[in-house]
Amino acid sequence: MIKLKINGQFKTLDVEPRVTLLDALRENLGLTGSKKGCDHGQCGACTVLIDGQRAYSCLTLAVMQEDKEITTIEDLAKGDDLHPVQTAFLKNDGFQCGYCTPGQICASLALLDEVKNGSVSYVTADLNNPPTLASLSETEIKERMSGNLCRCSAYNGIVAAVQQAAGQTPPSPAASIEHSQAG
């Protein structure tokens, strides 16, 4: 038996040591918001927060996560009130099929915290001068989100959602329409 703290609640589970955190969430706890896209840490759909940091739940064993605070997509909205990152995804059309979306949202949430904490990325020109939320460029957002694939390719919308959640003003997600559509 193992005891996991998920979304603030302790859950006791009878699983073999070989069960991943992702499978424990989906198969044993009915928390299917975290998605199994590849099961090999190559797509990001299973991203959850472990002690506030983003992680692939498919690449860790449930038994290794005892005593850690695990947060999944199911815990972000409070009742009817969406988390601001969720609202930003909705408004900017940061998804299509929706399968990578919980992972993208958890990753975005963590990204904002990382930037607030002064973290650097591969594309940060000066490693001693990390970006702030206000100065966070599209290039930075894209590099930092690259561990979350989206085959529908809602990438523009996701970047815009992160921009909005960072307090920036993203471009409109809608297309321009040249003619009046009357007729």
Partner 1 sequence: MKNFAYVRANSVEDAISRTTNDRQAMFIAGGTNLVDRLKVFLDEPSQLVDVSRLEMKQIERTNEGGLKIGALVTNTDLANHIEVRRNYPLLSRAILAGASQQIRNMATVGGNLMQRTRCPYYYDTAFPCNKRQLNTGCPAATGINRIHAILGASESCVAVNPSDMSVAMAALDATVEVQGMQGKREIPLIDFHRLPGNTPDRDTNLEPGELITAVILPPLSFAKSGVYLKLRDRASYAFALVSVATALEVAGEQIKNARVALGGVAHKPWRAMEAEEFLIGKAANNKSNFEQAAEIALKDAKTLAHNGFKVELSKRAIRRALTVSAQGGGIV
Partner 2 sequence: MNQVIGKSVNRKDGRAKVTGQATYGAEHQIPNLVHGYLVTATIANGSIRNIDTQQAAATPGVIAVFTHKNPPKIFKPTNNWMTSKIYEARLPLSDNKIHYAGQIVGLVVADTFERARDAAHQIKIEYETHSPQINAQKANYQQATSIFGEDMEYLAGEFETGDISVSGAATVEAIYTTETEIHSPMEPHALVAHWDNNDSVTIYEPTQWVKGSQRTYAELCGVPQEQVRIVSPYIGGAFGCKAFPWSHGVLCVAAAREIKRPLKVVVSRRQMTANTGHRSQTEQTIRLAANKDGKLRAIKHIAKSCTSPVEVFPEPCTGITPVIYATPNMHLKQEIAVLNVGTPTFMRAPGENPGMFALESAMDELAWELNIDPVELRLRNETKEHQRTKLPFSAKHFAECLKIGAEKFGWSDRQMQPRSQQQGELLVGWGMAAAAFPALRNRAEAKIRLLPDGIAHVLTSANDVGTGAYTVIAMTAAETLGLPVENIRVELGDSIMPNGGMAGGSQMTATLTPAVLTACQKVLETAKAQNAKEAFANLRESGLTAYEATASSAPGEEGKKFAFNSWGAHFCEVTVDEEIARLRVTRWVSVINIGRVLNSKTAASQIRGGVIMGIGQALMEECHFDPNIGYPVVYDLATYHFPAHADIPRIEVSFVGEPDLNFNPMGARGCGEIGITGVAAAVTNAVYHATGKRIRSLPITPDKLL
Please give the residues from 16 up to 75 whose contact with partner 2 meets the rule CB under 8 A: 16, 18-19, 23, 26-27, 30-40, 42-43, 45, 72-74
Does residue 163 bind partner 2 (CB under 8 A)?
no
Q: Closer to partner 1 at the Cβ: 101 or 121?
A: 121
The Cα–Cα gap between 34 and 68 comes to 17
77 near partner 1, judged by CB under 8 A: no
Residue 153 phi, psi (nearest 5): 65, 60
Q: How far apart are CA 47 and CA 102, in angstroms?
A: 7
- What does residue 9 show for φ and ψ, rounded to 5 degrees? -120, 140
Range 139-168, binding partner 1 (CB under 8 A): 142-144, 146-149
99-118: contacts with partner 1 (CB under 8 A) = 107, 110-111, 114, 118
Q: At what angle do helices 155-165 and 84-91 cross, to 10 degrees?
A: 140
The continuous run of DSSP H or E covering 56 comes out as strand 53-56
Q: Which residues bind partner 1 (CB under 8 A)?
A: 16-18, 20, 39-41, 44, 47, 50, 53-56, 58-61, 63-64, 107, 110-111, 114, 118-128, 142-144, 146-149
